[in-house]
Amino acid sequence: MLVVKAKIKDAAKDCNVASDFADALSKKVEALVAAACERAKGNNRRTVMAKDL
């Protein structure tokens, strides 16, 4: 799990958060990180930067 459930609830403010939301969000974040790593490698870098998102 890459996300903190309590922080999700803080960010959602007036909305309720379903029990499966954190898992789904974590999977999306993992995919974003993987894609950013591939972009960095494609640019001959080993450092992932904000611009890789």
Please say if the pLDDT value at position 1 is more than 90. Answer: no
Q: Kindly report, residue by residue over 3-21, the tens digit of the pLDDT.
A: 999 999 999 999 999 999 9
Query: Based on C-alpha coordinates, what's the Rg of the chain?
Result: 14
Query: What's the pLDDT at 5?
Result: 93
Nearest to 5 by CA among 18, 15, 14: 18
Contact between 22 and 1 under an 8 Å Cβ cutoff? The reply is yes
